Amino acid sequence: MNYFQPNQSYLSRLPGYNPVINFSNKGNHQDDKLKNKAVRKDMPLKQDELYIILADDDSDDRELFGEVIKDTGLKVKLDFAEDGRELLAMLESSAKELPQLIFLDLNMPNKSGTECLEIIRSSEKLKHLPVVIYSTSASIKDIDETFERGANLYIRKPSSYHDLLSMAKRVLMLDWEKYKARASKANFIFSDKTK
């Protein structure tokens, strides 16, 4: 399967494009608030649509992330997993397509983000997927452990909407060839400074 890698050339193909965000998760209350009524859940994923999964047990963080993704101006299909077990079930389901990018919280019930990362990296089916750790933790232990286990990028959750939006725009445009698992500790921790 050929996976879309977000980069600058993707954005240049979208001049004047009216982006849509398609929430395909089961009917959670945050989905109802954020769902674009013009898009049906059963619409097929288009070639230029980026598919992301956010695994986070905090409903407020999921809702805010959904609003930010909507405001990036990109055409995105976003699914939520409320814990590690749900994320792994989504990834292992033969009926579901694989995401092009996973945002993974570390502290979740039923399987932690670290456990999920380990399972993803040991799976032939999943090991190629870019995984962004998305956590409130700034612990060196968490950063080192997730780097060693093969995460592509580590982001401490921004504290403001503006910073979160800026982060999302930059991360969705990254060339993931430069952010391969265990490639560079210097590039592993997301910097809010433009390079």
Q: What is the pLDDT of residue 81?
A: 96
Alpha-carbon span 158 to 103, nearest angstrom: 14
CB distance 31 to 84 below 8 Å: no
Tens digit of each residue's pLDDT (9 = 90 or more) over 92-130: 987 789 999 999 999 999 999 999 999 999 999 999 999
One-letter identity of residue 105: D
At residue 191 the predicted structure's pLDDT band, cuts being 50, 70 and 90, is: low
Alpha-carbon span 114 to 107, nearest angstrom: 8
What domains are there in the chain, each with its CATH number? 47-188 (3.40.50.2300)
Tens digit of each residue's pLDDT (9 = 90 or more) over 5-63: 333 333 333 333 233 333 344 444 343 333 333 333 333 334 478 899 999 999 999 99
pLDDT(131) > 70 = yes
